[in-house]
Structure 1
């Protein structure tokens, strides 16, 4: 089943005064379905749905409410596609490989060269969908896990029996330590092929106990701690001062 939905974020006046703000933008209580499509998710279906939604957004007209004979309220709608995951973002950007960055178009073989990545041009339409918070905690935790699995040889691609053996041993050690020290079942498959044990609660505990997590993974605890600040900011319901936050 393929679902498209809408979540109201805020109601504000023309001068910027916020009348109402969604206290839980990620909660299903505020989610309003737009369409249910009983088809398997694919790039073609994702792209077609995106084009259709964009056309509907462009054709929206203000909602006019007549309160009294002298008072009329007109509400203008601003719709933005932001609650998507990386798979959807790649599809609407026309990127075939899930390993290619949908923002800078960097390939896995280029990502270790930070200077080259920073020099890559970024078109404005690639950032218009914001920073997706969907699965953000889980994917961020998994990023650190996969980096730790590959630390002994510092390469992303795992080719050859020797590298595969090293990754397997690293993964088993890390899983055992997380279970013993934090009581977390990390990166283990669920019965029936229904994903893994990585969930939101495990990810939040992972970042909350950043010193222990860093010690288990062999990474810098400051890196994981600062990453947790970014995640909290992305999920915050408060208005953030970008300049002060960046200091």
Structure 2
């Protein structure tokens, strides 16, 4: 279960059936469930397994809201979904004259970092599980002492977003190799980073046939899951193009 917003959609002249004016139709928030597995009560027999859990094949939207995704709207919709999950009742049916009872277990695992921050009431750059800030994230000893909030584990770990974040981290390190600094403040350093970025982006396009760090209207950048996956599949070539050690 999860929800996410998007913007940059076409703006139409038609009025809403509700008669409300001034309501934008260029932004959309969708809430969708995706079935993962159907198994017996004791878990010993799997009756059905979703062959493509990351695909939209079995994804059916249960709510579409034509509003821009904000912290308030995301929090409101998440609370509404969690309330409906808590009110779910078992499904009763008959199969070959046998009574079958299906209980439902739904978790909010299809959420991005922004939505997770809303749920955990933390900033985008702060870990919602252990509350680690960017200041202490490079101090492994300090991070090891932090106590994780086990209740936040139910939201899962998005391997897709992990791929993308590590991919972007490698790109940003590659852009800054010549100045050896993460924070770029001086105009001369900004120019060096900009030129290095243009060179690396061009090499990745020519040698790996991937478009990276290109803004997309209403949808972030071209740094999506497929791009990150293809980048890491060609790790030797990626290392030579970015100048980052292949072992990383």
TM range, normalised to the smaller chain? 0.7 to 0.9
Q: Distance in 2 between matches of 1:26 and 1:179?
A: 26
Contact persistence 2:35–2:58 (CA under 8 A): yes
Tell me, yes or no, if the aligned pair for 2:205 and 2:211 is still in contact at 8 Å.
yes
Q: Hey, what does 2:12 align to over in structure 1?
A: none
Offset from partner CA, 1:151-172 (integer Å, 9 cap, x none): 3455433323243233213212
Q: Write the deviation string for residues 135-189 of structure 1: whole angstroms up to 9, x where unpaired.
A: 4543332122122223345543332324323321321221122123222222123
Aligned residues: 220
Q: Name the counterpart of 1:85.
A: 112
Task: Please give the TM-score of this superposition, normalised by the length of structure 2.
Answer: 0.80
Mapping of residues 227-246 of structure 1, within 5 Å: none
1:213 equivalent in alignment to 2:241 = no
Please name the residue that 1:4 is paired with: 31
Cα 1:75/1:175, change in 2 over 3 Å: same
Instruction: Identify the match of residue 199 of structure 1 among 224, 232, 235.
Output: 224
Q: Distance in 1 between matches of 2:171 and 2:104?
A: 41
Structure 2 residue ranges without an equivalent (≥5)? 1-27
Q: Does 1:139 align with 2:179?
A: no
User: After TM superposition, where is structure 1 displaced by more than 6 Å over at least 4 residues in a row?
Assistant: none
Contact 2:129 2:150 survives alignment (8 Å): no
Which ranges in structure 1 are unaligned for 5 or more consecutive residues? Answer: 224-247
**Distance verdict in 2 for CA 1:30–1:140, change over 3 Å:** farther
| TM-align CA RMSD | 2.1
Which structure has the highest helix share of the two?
Answer: 1
| Equivalent position SS for 2:247 | helix
Per-residue deviation at 1:68? 5.0
Q: Structure 1 CA distance, aligned partners of 2:61 and 2:219?
A: 24
The structure, 1 or 2, with the larger RCO (C-alpha pairs under 8 Å, 6+ apart) is 2
Structure 2 CA distance for partners of 1:84 and 1:133, relative to 1, 3 Å: farther
Range with greater deviation from structure 2 (199-208 or 129-138): 129-138
Residue 21 of structure 2 corresponds to none
Provide Cα deviations, 1:93-151, integer angstroms capped at 9, x if missing partner. Answer: 111x3222223222222222222122222111222211124545433321221222233
Q: Does 1:37 align with 2:62?
A: no
In the other structure, the counterpart of 2:137 is: 111
Change over 3 Å in CA distance of 1:155–1:128 after alignment to 2? farther
Alignment CA distance shift 1:216-1:163 (3 Å) = same
Select 1:65's aligned residue among 93, 98, 103.
93
